[in-house]
Amino acid sequence: MTQSCPNGVMPRLVVVMGVSGSGKTLVAEGLCSQLGWPFQEGDDLHPPHNIAKMSSGEPLTDEDRLPWLEKCREWLAARAKDGRGGILACSALKGFYRDILRQNGMDVTFLFLRVPRDELERRLKGRKRHFMPVTLLDSQLETLEAPSGQEHILVLDAVDQPAEVIAKAIDLLCEDQENRR
């Protein structure tokens, strides 16, 4: 079902968002390897105490997340400067977190990966060597403020096989690019 953009996908800033297990890392890496844009894993920008907190089964608070979101925003701002595009895997669960990432009028496209709870649980249980415990899944889902119609966010039901999900993500970026012309 992949359609190619007539002129290719033009470099831009994309945040692949959603709860833990939704496939942010897989999709963001897949997009970057196909598009040749820089990739950043949002988890790698967390301060160590945030990772320790989640590892111990405690959800993060807004206060915990603010310095991390600032790091994420700085990464996006640096990519905006160099103009080669960039894709950040970042949960961006609440509307105001997303506003932080768009601060100063930065043109950021959010791609929300929507996945049912049972599939999320299956994925988190199957994922090896990762700090995030499956017991935090419900708090992730409670914290998530699904994008409202007012926020221009691309929504992808990310339940197919990985290659298909990545192809659909490229289709959505192409479609959006055409709509923005």
Interaction site with ligand 6PG (CB under 6 A): 20-21, 24-25, 43, 54, 60, 65, 91, 93, 132, 140
Shortest Å, Cβ 83 to ligand ADP: 26
Rounding to the nearest 10 degrees, give the CA dihedral for residues 19, 20, 23, 24. Answer: 70
Using Cβ positions, the residue closest to ligand ADP within the complex turns out to be: 23
Reading the block at residue 78, the tokens are 């640096």
Residue 85 binds which entry of ligand ADP, ligand 6PG, none, with Cβ cut-offs from 5 to 8 Å by kind? Answer: none
Q: What letter represents residue 26's amino acid?
A: L
Instruction: Write the DSSP symbol of residue 94.
Output: S
Residues 146-165 that bind ligand ADP (CB under 6 A): 158, 161-162, 165
In angstroms, the CA 116 to CA 68 distance is 27
| DSSP calls for 26-89 | HHHHHHHHHH---EEEGGGGS-HHHHHHHHTTPPPPHHHHHHHHHHHHHHHHHHHHHTS-EEEE
Residue whose CB is less far from ligand ADP, 102 or 123: 123
**82 Cβ partners below 8 Å, 6+ apart?**
none
Residue 109 binds which entry of ligand ADP, ligand 6PG, none, with Cβ cut-offs from 5 to 8 Å by kind? Answer: none
Shortest Å, Cβ 121 to ligand ADP: 11
Is position 141 an interface residue for ligand ADP (rule: CB under 6 A)?
no
Spatial contact of 41 and 68, defined as CB atoms under 8 Å apart: no
Is position 23 an interface residue for ligand ADP (rule: CB under 6 A)?
yes
Binding flags for ligand ADP, 48-87, as an x/- string (CB under 6 A): ----------------------------------------
Residue whose CB is less far from ligand 6PG, 129 or 181: 129
- Pick from 7, 4, 24: nearest CA to 16: 24
In angstroms, the CA 42 to CA 44 distance is 5
* Contact set with ligand ADP (CB under 6 A): 18, 20-26, 89, 123, 126-127, 158, 161-162, 165
